[in-house]
A and B are shown apart, each in its own frame.
Chain A
């Protein structure tokens, strides 16, 4: 009975919220796409590219981190492999740049299978250990194997569009990164609404229960790990084509993996746009501090402290934190219905209106006070 009366109301709400979502999405896309033509100088476009790169990386990380709750500190390894794979395929195998990008991503995906197999067989702690070990081992290999990777001297990747002016080059890559971000977000959204995504989230909430309910937890975790690695590698490869110069210290840096985690966590790992939001905040702050303060060891301190604060005080990110804050202002904040009569409850649900609710509360309070 009550459900029946509520249904049309909920449908109406759903429609307005969907409209709002679509509107906000279109506005966001419009702003993002018009940014290059509004930017006063190519420098702003490069900042935009850096932030988009962070957003893709962090969204890719969130396939594993957000759905399954497994935190990988070593996703920088997949970005580095994508970058070096693309660069080496272009320079050594002389593949066309964008073919190299996808071949490298396929290779990384193939490598992610055994890595994921080793990492995901047991629970969380070993996964983290493997993820960090992966970055450290690849850093060792790419630094030592100088004859193939260029070692610490770096690897120069030729530009994919040789005749293009510098500003045009940046503009093109801005749109390429934006497109990749779009695909990554769309994939996340589709998984989020699928049965597969449901299983992954069940793993996050309680792996034992998920398993006893028949979710093929190992296969699910492995598949999403490979998907995540593939997107990360695409972002890394695109970065290689854009930036054109690779150094193992930066490509296989534990710090870049930490930034991905920080951004996703800050924005909110359970939300589609959480990592994007985190990338906007942290990425902008990073680029700003690079210009203002240069490269000092203090950026490590700031990153460390920020990560610590997020972990301690808002592990669900700013989106839930802000929503909770808003909700506190919006509703009565009542969690108990012990003092409310059934008639009042029915009335309240029938109207479902904020102002009436507070009126009821006020009259209640004055009643009990007098």
Chain B
């Protein structure tokens, strides 16, 4: 039985990790909401953003956090372009299946290009404050992990404010809830859906930069992220942002606690166990509404 301080440390680490999961899962939920698309390439863009942060840091020595200024708008535009130019051109009848394949092919392409440009070598950013940390009630917390969590929390908060308190957010939520009704109210749902997609991809930019701070990255890393993320959105109930956030926190913490007793790889299986259990016993997820029951 591990000591109490160790357990406490795991819980703190789980919360910090869960924040990042929650942000990324919110992005996936947005795509699903606006277009009923399971965006496999989400985590590939995540790794792409991490590589961009690492590359900018290596070439110019700037702080990886500064790359956000460039990557967030860039990813937003890429998301809008991807929705407008690729996904809307698929046949509506087979959209769910074909969009999976299309985003899968985007993921493969990004992975291949990353491998080609930067080789398969594992990369890591070394910062002045990489090893900095502090004690908190007996738990030792690395500063970079806290910064990553702070970024994720800020981005999530920004997303929440945008969704709840702006006209665009209202239009976006209306589009997600009832597309036809939103159209009748004069909302240009196609444009809004495009922006929603861009917003989802922007979360990958924030997440990727946060990831680059304290993780070793390599091109095929995105497969280790997409599995847990998809498990999170299913457990939370497809299309539910609060559900995804709660599932992200819970599963992140469980993973962190399991790492005390098991190896890292075995601990990761908790996501898949949760996924299968959810689908077998409560297929609409734990917080999903009407939407989740049909997909």
Contact = CB atoms under 8 A, between A and B. Distances in A.
A303 B295 CA distance: 28
Interface string B97-124: 1101110111111111111100010000
A261 interface: yes
Given A125-B32, A144-B263, A312-B90, A301 B108 contact: yes
Contacts, number: 154
A270 B292 CA distance: 29
Interface in B69-102: 86, 89-91, 94, 96-98, 100-102
B160 interface: no
B234 A297 contact: no
Most buried by A among B96, B108, B284, B294: B108
B109 A133 contact: no
Nearest to B230: A129
A122 interface: yes
A209 to B, nearest CB: 13
A298 B105 CA distance: 13
B295 A140 contact: no
Given A70-B97, A117-B280, A299-B112, A305 B105 contact: yes
Contact of B294 (A123, A258, A298, A311): A123
A289 B115 CA distance: 17
A79 B93 CA distance: 30
A296 interface: yes
A301 B91 CA distance: 24
B235 to A, nearest CB: 11
Interface of B: 32, 36, 38, 40, 86, 89-91, 94, 96-98, 100-102, 104-116, 120, 219, 223-224, 226-227, 230-231, 234, 238, 263, 265-266, 268-269, 271-272, 275-276, 279-280, 283-284, 292-295
B191 to A, nearest CB: 22
Given A125-B238, A129-B234, A118 B105 contact: no
Contacts of A265: 101
Contact of A300 (B98, B115, B231): B115
A307 B107 CA distance: 11
A128 B101 CA distance: 10
A118 B97 contact: no
B295 A123 contact: yes
A125 B295 contact: yes
A311 B266 contact: no
Nearest to A254: B223
A304 B116 CA distance: 14
A301 B271 CA distance: 29
A322 B101 CA distance: 22
Contacts of B98: 71, 311, 315
Contacts of A320: none
Contact of B101 (A126, A255, A311): A311
B115 A133 contact: no
Most buried by B among A69, A70, A254: A254
Interface string A284-300: 00000000000011111
Contact of A305 (B91, B109, B238, B266): B109
B230 A300 contact: no
Given A122-B283, A129-B38, A140-B269, A311 B96 contact: no
Contacts of B275: 129-130, 133
A117 B278 CA distance: 12
A361 to B, nearest CB: 31
A227 interface: no
Interface in A281-337: 296-308, 311-312, 315
A128 B106 CA distance: 16
A133 B90 contact: no
25 contacts: A71-B97, A73-B40, A122-B284, A122-B293, A126-B238, A128-B38, A128-B96, A129-B38, A129-B231, A133-B271, A140-B265, A140-B266, A144-B265, A255-B108, A296-B116, A297-B112, A297-B219, A300-B115, A303-B105, A303-B108, A304-B106, A307-B102, A308-B106, A308-B109, A311-B98
A125 B104 contact: no
Contacts of B38: 125, 128-129
A277 to B, nearest CB: 18
Contacts of A302: 112
